[in-house]
Amino acid sequence: MDFAYVVMVCVAVYVAISVMREVMRRKRETGNIKNKIASKKALHENLIEYREKAGLEPEDVADALDVPWVLVKKWESGQEDPGTSKLLELARLYNVSAEELLKDVRFL
């Protein structure tokens, strides 16, 4: 065997191992990111939680915000998200900040 051929094979093996290590590292990082995303909540879960803490029913929220009851149910089921102005009104109604309503919410 030629010395140059042996060196070339060694370099190829080294590169292959390096690439495999990088792929595995990125796979681990991606898994960690997915776990972090999975641990976050959806906005509608926070809306239900804070409404219940405020001791209100969906109908009470609808009356206070002057919106149809069905719209509040859509917000709380995750079918629709409230707009910015309604989110601010919800925060005032629940006596929390808008940041608190959005705390731990995942955005996709």
Summarize pLDDT for 4-52 with one digit per residue, the tens: 777 787 778 778 788 888 877 777 766 655 555 454 578 899 999 999 9
Range of the domain at 15: 1-39
Count of domains forming the chain: 2
- Rounded Cα distance between 6 and 43, Å, is 60
Domain for residue 11, yes or no?
A: yes
**Per-residue confidence (pLDDT) for residue 42, from 0 to 100:** 85
User: Counting every residue, how long is the chain?
Assistant: 108
Same-domain pairing of 96 and 56? yes
* 49 and 86 in a common domain: yes
Q: What does the pLDDT read at residue 87?
A: 92
Which of 61, 52, 33, 39 has the alpha carbon at shortest distance from 105?
39
Q: What is the pLDDT of residue 27?
A: 72
92 and 59 together in one domain: yes
> Which secondary structure element, helix H or strand E, spans residue 92, and what is its range?
helix 84-93
pLDDT digits (tens, 9 = 90+) for 49-96: 999 999 999 999 999 999 999 999 999 998 998 989 999 999 999 999
